[in-house]
Structure 1
Amino acid sequence: MSYAGVSVHVLSEIDLHCHSTASDGKLPAAELVQRAAERGIRTLAITDHDTAEGFRQGQAKAGELGVTLIPGIELSCVWGGITIHIVGLNFDPQSDAMRAAEQAQSDARASRSEIIAERLSKRLKTDINLADVQALAGGDQVGRPHFAQYLLDRGLVPSMNTAFGKYLGAGKPGDVKASWPEMAQAVRWIADAGGIPVMAHAHLYKMTRTKLKACISDFIDAGGRAIEVAYGQMDSNQRGQMSALAREFELMGSCGSDFHGPNRYGLDLGVMPPFPADVTPVWHSWQKPA
């Protein structure tokens, strides 16, 4: 299978990075687990943004289908003024540390939503009813897509593309950055919950190699233990770079599709480059010896 000229590999058994409707994914957690089972994935982590609800909502279905569902989350944070994402794996979702992380991130997102509503109200010269936007989220996280849907439903824009192009995209009034915690705090939350902090898609951060190494060093100092080395649409060069960093810093490697839902590029659960043979897989830390 290939797209954009890049060969990819369907890893049929392990996907440790994907999203459900508990954050910005298109499928409810149960449907995501069902899709994973149909694709032959045996170990799955639903890593929704700033919430472990995907894991909680998917547990029953995973039990029915025999899929090993690992507790997962993807925490937003900052390092050196740059937004970084830290995936947490195999933690205790009921722990005080994880509950504190979810509450802090929820508060940051709520504050952001209020600012977006205020800015859009001013720009469009009409009141944006935040309660209605929250209703579109169905009780899950409110994001810019929900604001876009609200604008579309009320005839304030002709399309979702227009909503983002004029009001919600990068540099537009609704492009509001949340007050995320420092990376070290995000890592500590995961570690204190008994989980494994993983630096997500480090190849996508706009940093020089020297700066990225400094970031990884601070990540490790805070308790970080792994980095994604096989990720969705990562090409072979990026895979090589991330694998080299894993070896240099003696980090375990993680893998995941970052699947959010069906799309025209063909990315699906389990789609990622081959896992590098010379990097220790993160799942070795929780798998029982044969």
Structure 2
Amino acid sequence: MKVDLHCHSNVSDGVLAPAAVAAYARAAGVDAWALTDHDEVGGIKEARAKATELGMRFVAGVEISITWANETVHLVGLQVDEDDPVLQRGLAATRAGRDARGREIAAQLEQAGIPDAYEGALKFVANPDLLSRTHFARYLCEVGICGTTAEVFRKFLTEGRPGFVPHRWATLPDAMGWIRAAGGIPVIAHPGRYRFDDTAQGALFDAFRQLGGNAIEVVTGSHTPEQYGIYAEVARRYGFLASRGTDFHAPGEARVEFDKLPPLPSDLKPVWHDWF
């Protein structure tokens, strides 16, 4: 079974509608699929209906931004009840402030000689509550400042570069509480992306485990092939369940497409081991 438990639609910072993401995944051979939009569950019903129509098993999910040790970290919640009021209130709270942050990003880019970035980014936004750096990156590509979104994030929008505006997100206990209230399973998303040394990363894993967390992403489009092995070993050492997903946002933007992402190492227990 080919399982992908990390994908985005235009309900957050993806390009395709939820049903179109489902069709794209199914065409690439995915058998079980989760939609995990950033801080938003508004696309789940459409995604579930299309996945069912296409014969895919569906997992309702969400990706929640948190602040840990002054860094932004993402938790994926899987098997959530998207109608749970605790989850809904928490996500609404964490979405607040994105517009103000977006205007600050645009002001910095204007100082760097790139005008009209706020209006330009909005052209790529389907959900105005979820204006993100990715939308700015697409605008910078559209106007020819960079060739790819990856190049944008090397030159802009990250710490020390024009357009970087930090945001204070939810706490780790808050986000895990929202996921648990909705009956879901929290997963640390793409741990290899965070700029932690070994001590800080270990502290994150320890805190996550103490709060009842027991799963991390191992094979993901946001990891390098070398990191697959590194985080497989982390999963073994901590006894974590392992998750897998492309972190798909748009055709051609992902580091790895649905049909190219490797399977989990055979000795790891998948987070979905008893779901299907």
Q: Which deviations, in whole Å up to 9, do the C-alpha atoms of 1:228-258 show, x marking residues without a partner? A: 1222264554223212222222221111111
Write the mapping of 1:93-242 to structure 2, written as runs, cut at 5 A: 93-117=82-106, 119=108, 134=122, 136-140=124-128, 141-147=130-136, 158-161=143-146, 168-170=156-158, 171-232=160-221, 234-235=223-224, 237-242=226-231
Give the letter aligned to residue 246 of structure 2: S
In the TM superposition, what is the alpha-carbon distance from 1:90 to its structure 2 partner? 0.4
Give the letter aligned to residue 159 of structure 1: G
In the TM superposition, what is the alpha-carbon distance from 1:150 to its structure 2 partner? 6.5
Q: Which deviations, in whole Å up to 9, do the C-alpha atoms of 1:94-132 show, x marking residues without a partner? A: 001210222012103233224335555677698x69688
In the aligned structure 1, how far is the partner of 2:119 from the partner of 2:193?
A: 34
In the aligned structure 1, how far is the partner of 2:139 from the partner of 2:262?
A: 37
In the TM superposition, what is the alpha-carbon distance from 1:47 to its structure 2 partner? 1.3
In the aligned structure 2, how far is the partner of 1:280 from the partner of 1:149?
A: 37
Of 113-122 and 200-209, deviating more is: 113-122
- Correspondence 1:60 to 2:52: no
Contact 2:26 2:54 in 1 (8 A): yes
In the TM superposition, what is the alpha-carbon distance from 1:17 to its structure 2 partner? 0.9
Contact 1:261 1:268 in 2 (8 A): no
| Structure 1 ranges of 4+ moved more than 4 A | 117-126, 128-136, 147-153, 162-165
In the aligned structure 1, how far is the partner of 2:222 from the partner of 2:185?
A: 23
| Alpha-carbon distance change, 145 to 89 in structure 1, aligned in 2, over 3 angstroms | closer
Please name the residue that 1:78 is paired with: 67
| Alpha-carbon distance change, 151 to 278 in structure 1, aligned in 2, over 3 angstroms | closer
Please name the residue that 1:251 is paired with: 240
- Correspondence 1:268 to 2:257: yes
Contact 1:43 1:70 in 2 (8 A): yes
In the TM superposition, what is the alpha-carbon distance from 1:91 to its structure 2 partner? 0.7
Give me the TM-score of the superposition, normalised by structure 1: 0.80
Between the two proteins, what is the percent identity of the paired residues? Answer: 34
Give the letter aligned to residue 125 of structure 2: A
In the aligned structure 1, how far is the partner of 2:156 from the partner of 2:51?
A: 36
In the aligned structure 1, how far is the partner of 2:126 from the partner of 2:166?
A: 22
In the TM superposition, what is the alpha-carbon distance from 1:210 to its structure 2 partner? 3.0
Q: Which deviations, in whole Å up to 9, do the C-alpha atoms of 1:15-54 show, x marking residues without a partner? A: 0012111222222211110011112211101111111233
In the aligned structure 2, how far is the partner of 1:100 from the partner of 1:195?
A: 16
Q: Which deviations, in whole Å up to 9, do the C-alpha atoms of 1:243-274 show, x marking residues without a partner? A: 22222222211111112222277721243232
Give me the TM-score of the superposition, normalised by structure 2: 0.84
Contact 2:65 2:74 in 1 (8 A): yes
| Alpha-carbon distance change, 271 to 191 in structure 1, aligned in 2, over 3 angstroms | farther
| Alpha-carbon distance change, 231 to 130 in structure 1, aligned in 2, over 3 angstroms | closer
Contact 1:198 1:227 in 2 (8 A): yes
In the aligned structure 2, how far is the partner of 1:277 from the partner of 1:205?
A: 26
The answer for unaligned runs of 5 or more in structure 1 is 1-11
Give the letter aligned to residue 182 of structure 1: T
Please name the residue that 2:81 is paired with: 92
In the TM superposition, what is the alpha-carbon distance from 1:211 to its structure 2 partner? 2.4
- Correspondence 1:30 to 2:19: yes
